[in-house]
């Protein structure tokens, strides 16, 4: 192999790799970007995070009621006000307002909506069963149903809606 | 290691590899390599953008905005896609010139030439289908004009146009059709044509003059030159993209007036339309472009083997003419636009809209109704837009274009200066001169001090809490003058003593210029307290919502601080003629003090 041939080979390889890199870096950067760039509108729902979901009078002692959570839905560029963003099971243990409990209706397994079954709850997708207080009984759910902060103001039941990471044993809020 | 891997591949793929024998390895051929490299850049940047872009009239602009202004690297990738397309158009032209100069289009290379011409046409088709995809004003309007031209083609035009648009109108289906062409159909065709082109170059060699050169291997003699050519092209595109970027205009608005301009490489075609109008239009849209295409396609025979010297120059003259003609037409359009203030205004306006749209999308996100809705409901721009649509049709005001003024200028309405100008010369064409109401004449007998006092009193009627207080002494003096003189005709709380023959039927001056007064004027303009039955101003309650009415009131109030029309009091007699562009239909009433009964 001649010296000239070697030099040309190096030039061809280096220039070709250089050209590929100049195009590949921005492209890889962009393709990876959505994975680590949250929408700038995320978390700009306004208010203090409390959302009214029901009237206390709508809840009967000992019964569970599923109510939708309305809020601002953010999806990349699009921002939709007053859209259904989640669902909550409300439970009222007694007469007092402090006996109201809220459980996220989102199954901790893979995010299907949990139904009422008998006294407890059941996820229709992979038949995870939960106790009336949300404890996981049988099925693949890695953790109990997720409790949400709840309060009663002027007869109105308010929750702080949080979406938790699915499929893991620990309860981690989704950013 | 590398050798082992090469060996492994050879055993399975055979000896047919890139390493083909070539003759006349040269830098000249690196242009072709640069073209291929840029096509690859287009492919990868295009696919990267497809991971963000969403074709749809409500999402195309929004997703492009997200790509350009939110996602890291998005602006770079989009700019590279744009600048690579520009570079491709230039390099295609350069490649064509190099090929003709090297006689590489002649037999037996006609098919190579055709494949190349076809690929060049596809590059232009890529540009045409790609430009409107962002669904911004610039791309939308350029593309709408281009597809409009299709409809003017005789016989088949309307049919072809419907097929391209996906229906009768330029809309949602046009966008998805263009998208499908841009990302699937055209790439497939281009890959086929470029592959055929390269295969034919391999088969016949690059050009006649290389045929005598010694045979070499492509790798690495030509490969090194090709790689350097590719590197130079890609780096140039990268640097241009970093330095110049690419703009995103405001969201496409089918109802707007936008100065549609194509990309520079289509501006010669656009300018042809300017030179061939009416029945001659077909010359610009079909005859000349068709003749150029036919000439290029037939070039292997027109400039056939054996033609040389003066004969060759003669047959290639059209090629030079095409280049020079295109350059001239492009220059002509650019020169015209640079000297056209209305074009400059329109583009400046478009830039402002673009900046505002991006700011709104950044701040609030795009609503489900889409970016155009977002821009049209801009809380900051809405009042001015309403004023433009409902008020500036008849009223003049700075910053608005009123084609036919039929009502007083509103700059400074409610201010001392405006009030004084009105009392001094009500029938001035900037004031009531263009209306049907000419009952009040210039108040010549009012002393300068009284005029100032009346101006102060009228201004004070509309002063709100928090605004600088009017001069109390002047207001008191003004009130006396208003009571004694103005309100002999005008309605209002400062009633003069009853007098025989006195008819008070002119508009009330109470609260003049206040929000309440402006509101009343808009909802009830024919009320006696406003301007009566002869007032041509429409009632706005049915036309706009209550909230919009309030916005219009606020906007009109905001004009109060502007400079009022500057006009001299007319000389005692005769009144000077009004400016020639708007002659007052009637002479101002000669006797201002005489009670007038002409109303109603």
Return the SS3 of B332. helix
Alpha-carbon gap, residue A52 to B132, rounded angstroms: 44
**Residue carrying the six token digits 């409809």:** B151
Q: Is the minimum CB–CB distance between B49 and chain A shorter than 8 Å? A: yes
Beta strands in A16-99 (DSSP E): 50-55, 64-75, 78-92
Which residues, other chains included, contact B324 with Cβ-Cβ below 8 Å and sequence gap of 6+? none
| DSSP code of residue A54 | E
Tell me the backbone φ, ψ of residue B192, rounded to 5 degrees: -60, -45
Q: Which of B47, B224, B367 has its CB closest to that of A12?
A: B224
With contact defined as beta carbons under 8 Å apart, do B24 and B210 qualify?
Answer: yes
Give B 337-396 residues with CB within 8 A of chain A.
Answer: 361-362, 364-368
pTM: 0.74
A→B interface, C-beta within 8 Å: 5, 8-9, 11-16, 18-19, 22-24, 26-27, 29-31, 33-34, 37, 39-41, 74, 76-81
Q: Strand pairing partners for A157?
A: A54, A152
Could you write out the DSSP letters of every residue in B469-483? PP-HHHHHHHHHHHH
CB atoms within 10 A of CB B447: 9
Alpha-carbon gap, residue A70 to A87, rounded angstroms: 9
Alpha-carbon gap, residue A20 to B519, rounded angstroms: 66
Strand A64-75 and strand A129-130: pairing? unpaired
Alpha-carbon gap, residue A144 to A104, rounded angstroms: 10
A16: nearest CA partner in chain B: B227
- Among B40, B48, B245, B362, the strongest candidate for a mutation testing the A interface, having the largest count of A CBs within 10 A, is B48
Beta strands in A76-154 (DSSP E): 78-92, 100-104, 115-117, 120-122, 129-130, 136-138, 147-148, 150-153
B229: nearest CA partner in chain A: A15
Q: What is the CA radius of gyration of chain B?
A: 35
Return the SS3 of A111. coil
A16 contact residues in B (CB cutoff 8 A): 223, 227, 230-231
Q: Which of B62, B231, B233 has its CB closest to that of A77?
A: B62
**Residue carrying the six token digits 């891997």:** B5
Residues, chain A, total?
Answer: 175
Which residues, other chains included, contact B472 with Cβ-Cβ below 8 Å and sequence gap of 6+? none
CB atoms within 10 A of CB B460: 20
Give the tens place of pLDDT for each residue, A109-144.
999 999 999 989 999 999 999 999 999 999 999 999
Alpha-carbon gap, residue A17 to B237, rounded angstroms: 16
Preceding omega of B568 cis (within 30 degrees of 0): no
With contact defined as beta carbons under 8 Å apart, do B250 and B134 qualify?
Answer: no
ipTM score: 0.84
Look at A39 and B70 and tell me if their CB atoms are within 8 Å: yes
List the structure tokens of B287. Answer: 């005859």
Q: Per-residue pLDDT for chain B (600 aa), expressed as one digit of tens each?
A: 888 998 888 888 876 666 677 777 788 889 999 999 999 999 999 999 999 999 999 999 999 999 999 999 999 999 999 999 999 999 999 999 989 999 999 999 999 999 999 999 999 999 999 999 999 999 999 999 999 988 888 899 999 999 999 999 999 999 999 999 999 999 999 999 999 999 999 888 888 888 888 888 888 888 999 999 999 999 999 999 999 999 999 999 998 888 888 999 999 998 998 899 888 989 999 999 999 999 999 999 999 888 888 999 999 999 999 999 999 999 999 999 999 988 898 888 889 999 999 999 998 899 999 999 898 888 787 888 889 889 999 999 988 888 889 999 999 999 999 999 999 888 888 888 888 888 888 888 888 899 999 999 999 999 988 888 999 999 999 999 999 889 988 999 998 888 888 888 899 999 999 999 999 999 989 888 888 888 889 888 888 888 889 889 999 999 998 888 877 666 555 444 555 444 444 444 444 444 444 443
Q: Is the minimum CB–CB distance between B41 and chain A shorter than 8 Å? A: yes
């Amino acid at each position: 192999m001649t010296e000239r041939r070697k030099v040309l080979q190096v030039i061809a390889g280096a220039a070709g790799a250089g050209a590929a890199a100049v195009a590949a870096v921005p492209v890889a950067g962009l393709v990876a970007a959505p994975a680590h760039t949250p929408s700038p509108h995320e978390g700009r729902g306004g208010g203090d995070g409390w959302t009214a979901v029901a009237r206390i009078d709508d809840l009967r002692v000992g019964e569970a009621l599923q109510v939708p959570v309305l809020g601002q839905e953010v999806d990349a560029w699009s921002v939709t006000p007053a859209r259904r963003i989640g669902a909550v099971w409300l439970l009222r243990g007694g007469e007092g307002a402090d006996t109201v409990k809220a459980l996220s209706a989102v199954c901790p397994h893979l995010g299907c909506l949990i139904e009422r079954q008998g006294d407890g709850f059941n996820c229709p997708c992979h038949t995870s069963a939960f106790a009336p207080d949300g404890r996981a009984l049988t099925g693949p759910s890695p953790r109990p149903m997720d409790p949400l902060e709840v309060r009663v103001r002027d007869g109105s039941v308010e929750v702080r809606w949080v979406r938790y990471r699915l499929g893991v044993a620990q309860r981690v809020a989704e950013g | 290691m590398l050798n082992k891997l090469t060996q492994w591949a050879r055993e399975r793929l055979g000896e047919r590899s890139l390493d083909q024998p070539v003759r006349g390895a040269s830098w000249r051929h690196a242009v072709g390599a640069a073209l291929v490299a840029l096509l690859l850049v287009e492919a990868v940047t295009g696919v990267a953008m497809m991971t963000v872009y969403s074709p749809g009239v409500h999402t195309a602009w929004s997703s492009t905005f997200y790509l350009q202004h939110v996602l890291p690297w998005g602006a770079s990738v989009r700019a590279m896609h744009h600048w690579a397309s520009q570079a491709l158009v230039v390099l295609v032209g350069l490649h064509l010139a190099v090929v003709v100069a090297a006689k590489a289009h002649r037999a037996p290379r006609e098919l190579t030439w055709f494949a190349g011409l076809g690929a060049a046409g596809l590059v232009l088709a890529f540009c045409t289908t790609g430009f409107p995809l962002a669904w911004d004003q610039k791309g939308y309007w350029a593309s709408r004009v281009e597809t409009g031209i299709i409809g003017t083609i005789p016989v088949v035009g309307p049919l072809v146009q419907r097929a391209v648009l996906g229906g009768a109108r330029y809309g949602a289906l046009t966008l998805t059709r263009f998208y499908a062409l841009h990302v699937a159909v055209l790439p497939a065709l281009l890959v086929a044509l470029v592959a055929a082109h390269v295969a034919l170059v391999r088969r016949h060699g690059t050009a006649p003059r290389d045929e005598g050169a010694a045979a070499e291997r492509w790798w690495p003699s030509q490969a090194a030159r090709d790689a350097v050519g590719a590197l130079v092209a890609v780096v140039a595109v990268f640097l241009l993209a970093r330095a110049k970027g690419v703009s995103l205009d405001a969201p496409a608005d089918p109802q707007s007036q936008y100065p549609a301009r194509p990309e520079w490489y289509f501006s010669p075609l656009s300018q042809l339309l300017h030179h061939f109008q009416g029945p001659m239009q077909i010359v610009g849209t079909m005859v000349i472009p068709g003749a150029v295409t036919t000439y290029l396609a037939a070039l292997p025979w027109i400039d056939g083997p054996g033609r040389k010297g003066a004969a060759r120059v003669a047959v290639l003259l059209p090629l030079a003419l095409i280049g020079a003609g295109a350059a001239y037409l492009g220059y002509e359009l650019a020169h015209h636009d640079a000297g056209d203030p209305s074009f400059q205004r329109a583009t400046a306006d478009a830039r402002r809209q673009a900046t505002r749209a991006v700011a709104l999308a950044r701040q609030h996100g795009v609503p489900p109704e889409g970016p155009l809705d977002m821009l049209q409901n801009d809380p900051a721009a809405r009042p001015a837009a309403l004023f433009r649509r409902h008020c500036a049709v008849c009223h003049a005001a700075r910053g608005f274009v009123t084609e036919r003024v039929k009502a007083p200028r509103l700059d400074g309405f409610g201010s001392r200066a405006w009030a004084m100008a009105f009392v001094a010369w009500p029938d001035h064409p900037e004031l009531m001169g263009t209306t049907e109401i000419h009952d009040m004449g210039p108040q010549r007998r009012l002393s300068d001090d009284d005029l100032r006092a009346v101006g102060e009193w009228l201004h004070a009627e509309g002063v709100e809490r928090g605004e600088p207080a009017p001069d109390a002494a002047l207001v008191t003096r003004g009130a006396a003058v208003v009571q004694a003189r103005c309100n002999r005709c005008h309605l209002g709380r400062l009633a003069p003593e009853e007098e025989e023959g006195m008819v008070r039927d002119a508009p009330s001056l109470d609260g003049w210029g206040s929000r309440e007064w402006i509101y009343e004027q808009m909802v009830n303009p024919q009320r006696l307290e406003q301007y009566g039955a002869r007032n041509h101003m429409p009632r706005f309650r049915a036309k706009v919502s209550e909230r919009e009415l309030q916005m219009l009131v606020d906007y009109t109030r905001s004009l109060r601080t502007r400079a009022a029309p500057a006009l001299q009091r007319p000389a005692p007699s005769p009144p000077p003629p009004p400016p020639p562009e708007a002659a007052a239909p009637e002479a101002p009433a000669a006797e201002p003090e005489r009670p007038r009964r002409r109303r109603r």
